[in-house]
Structure 1
Amino acid sequence: MAVQAYVLVQTEVGKASAVSAAIGAVEGVLVAEDVTGPYDVIARVEASTVDELGRLVIARIQDVPGITRTLTCTVVHV
């Protein structure tokens, strides 16, 4: 079963649209959308393992220019 998470992203001022487009192009990102509130972009991501999910966020998403902070919220099924 795949592991999914929401990645909440804060960006530099005026960079939300570019960051959202760049994140949306990353393999493993199901959707990335600009939002209002304390975060600028929210992405839904999927990977085969928790470790792979961590690598996706750290090595691919956090590498996108314009990101200042991320918060990853793993989806759980209880």
Structure 2
Amino acid sequence: MVKAYILLTSAIGRVKDVFDRLKGLKNVKTVSIVTGPYDLIVLVEAEDLSTLTNTVVEEIREIEGVVDTNTAIIVQ
């Protein structure tokens, strides 16, 4: 099992829409709207690194309103 925090920046006015879409994704375990340099923090759990990569690149980054992501893979 591979886990990672995705630090996500959304377009202005789209945080709630992105939040709702993220909650529906299979490998997304938690989604939090936060203050600071990022708008949302997402915990993703996947079977392997390839699945994690696909979740970020092909699902999360394709959501309308997602501007940028920064992935922090949990190592311990």
Q: TM-score, normalised by structure 2?
A: 0.96
| Whole-angstrom CA distance in 1 between matches of 2:35 and 2:20 | 16
Say whether the 8 Å CA contact 1:9–1:40 is kept in structure 2. yes
Aligned-pair Cα RMSD in Å:
0.6
Secondary structure in 2 matching 1:21: helix
What percentage of residue pairs aligned between the two structures are identical?
Answer: 32
Q: TM-score, normalised by structure 1?
A: 0.94
CA shift for structure 1 position 32: 0.8
CA shift for structure 1 position 52: 0.9
Q: Counterpart in 1 of 2:60?
A: 61
Gaps of 5+ in 2: none
CA shift for structure 1 position 68: 0.5
Q: Counterpart in 2 of 1:52?
A: 51
Secondary structure in 2 matching 1:56: helix
Gaps of 5+ in 1: none
Secondary structure in 2 matching 1:42: strand
